[in-house]
A and B are shown apart, each in its own frame.
Chain A
Amino acid sequence: MLDRAGDPAASPPADTEAEARPVAFRGAGFAPRAGRYSGWIALVLVLGLWQLAGSAGWVNPLFLPPPSAIALAIWKLALSGALWNHVSASVVRIGAGWILGTMAGLVVGFAIGLSSLARGVGITFISALFPIPKIALLPLLILWLGIGEEPKIATIALGVFFSTAISVYSGVDAVPRNLIRMAQSFGVPFASIVRRVIWPGALPSILAGFRITASVALLLVVSAEMIGAEFGIGAFVLQAGNLMQTDQLLAGVVMLSLFGLAVGKLINLLETRLLHWR
């Protein structure tokens, strides 16, 4: 027979002589959470201060034009159509280079992740070539491919390729081996294991790689356009700098920032859609 306590509220007799003290709470902190509006408020405050500094003459507008001047420059560029010419040229280069580099990176990354031969050969080459700043290859690529769009797209593709290949084979390596063994234990064919186990398992790493390659592509397009292009945000920023048109220079920088933000949002959307199970 179980010996049950009669009154659940009953507690052992307290020592009435000693004074009871509350236990001090020690678990606070180490759990940062961004407030819903704090980022926007900070942004507005910084822009306001910046505007005030420009309007009050605390800062020479030639060195740091106020936000209103930058907005006006963007508006004028949009009206003249120059903004579209520059932005579209950059977007086409980034898009073509990123897609080419990503496709090649996915193929090579999966090959390295799945085949011993590809791993032996591929990792050696990737380790040797990955650290090279890809923009240093642009002159060589111009020699090989001419002075048109091809060398710029190839530079971006090269930069994207290495980061993608690394994130893909790291993602494949990170797929829990127990899941692969489970699939093998049910006699699931190789192609099906790749499609249903390895691909979804590697996807978080691949998407994280996309985030990196998007910024690599942006960096390389600006660099390549600064070296040799008539149109493109990089060329526009360089030209504005040479002419001391700092409002236009910063207008180009704002466009780059907006482009980066848009790509980030797109990848967030992809993650929400494809990694909803996390």
Chain B
Amino acid sequence: MVSQMDLIADHISHRFGALEVLDDVSFTVRSGEVVAIVGPSGCGKSTLLSILGGLLQPSAGRAESRGAPAPDSRNPLTFVFQDFALLPWCTVAENVEFPLLHCALTPCERRAVVDDALRRTSLSDFRAAYPRQLSGGMRQRVGIARALAVRPAILLMDEPLSALDSQTRELLMEDFVGLLADGSMGAVYVTHNLEEAVRIADRIVVLSRRPGRIREVVTIPLTRSERGNIHARERLLALQSELWSLIREQAAEAEREVQHA
């Protein structure tokens, strides 16, 4: 049975002390949908993701889920972190097993889940390696395997490729597209990279500069499977350029603000 869970941002506002970060942000991530959040630096993208995933209490509004995740989902809202967040004292297999340790699973069942997650991320040969022995791309694969192991309804990805080199980024992006292709999982994908956003998302939420407000919600007029061919690439490039024109001015202003701070 697949997940039928929506994630709703309901009039979310947030401030850190006197600093207003988010202002009245509302949107819905439907079951199986991939929504990218883009915007200038400091517009509150990661803050919004933390609120959606229950790691931060918003100052106003709330994050809600509607419907039910798949019965075998052990953590419906699961993060994939920019810095991988792997336990350095645990091997690859132990890192993937970590979120399962408090679930009601026998050691045999746990082992089967870990094996499956490692196989899906091509990490089976590295199960005994420690994070320090892996490249950045491999470490992020471990982060993805750990997320897959708990069978999430919605993946919350906070710039998951930004710490990686361009070739590794390309390879992992292909993996993400493959993993999300069957619609069994939805995702919220926070990025500053518009190319990634148009490649992976069904819809793109464009935030304004701080305090982040929704400026536009752009629907990608192509299914994810259609985006591989050359004509689609041209359309995506055009879309990317449109998005850039939407945020260019504000990105420059945000940059100037950082320099003057």
Contacts and interface: CB of A to CB of B under 8 A. Distances in A.
Contact of B130 (A181, A185, A189, A277): A277
Nearest to A197: B87
B118 interface: no
Contacts of B150: 186
Interface stretch (B75-83, B207-215, B223-231, B234-242): B75-83
Contacts of B79: 182, 185
B89 interface: yes
Interface residues on B, range: 20 to 34
Interface string A189-201: 1001000110011
A105 B54 CA distance: 34
B85 interface: yes
Contacts of A189: 102
A258 interface: no
A186 B81 contact: no
Given A184-B55, A186-B150, A179 B102 contact: no
Interface in A31-74: none
Nearest to B146: A186
B101 interface: yes
- The A interface, classified by DSSP as helix, strand, loop or mixed, is helix
Interface string B94-108: 000011011000000
Given A178-B85, A200-B89, A277-B130, A187 B75 contact: yes
B40 interface: no
Size range of the interface on A? 10 to 19
Nearest to B54: A185
Contacts of B99: 183, 186-188
Interface of B: 53-55, 75, 77-79, 81, 83, 85, 87-90, 98-99, 101-102, 130, 132, 150
Given A181-B85, A186-B75, 18 more contacts: A178-B83, A182-B81, A182-B85, A183-B98, A184-B55, A185-B55, A185-B75, A185-B78, A186-B99, A188-B99, A188-B101, A192-B101, A192-B102, A196-B87, A196-B101, A197-B87, A275-B89, A277-B130
Interface of A: 178-179, 181-189, 192, 196-197, 200-201, 275, 277-278
30 contacts: A178-B81, A178-B83, A178-B85, A179-B85, A179-B87, A183-B99, A184-B55, A185-B53, A185-B54, A185-B55, A185-B78, A185-B79, A186-B75, A186-B78, A186-B98, A186-B99, A186-B150, A187-B75, A187-B99, A187-B102, A188-B98, A188-B99, A189-B102, A196-B101, A200-B87, A200-B89, A277-B88, A277-B132, A278-B88, A278-B132
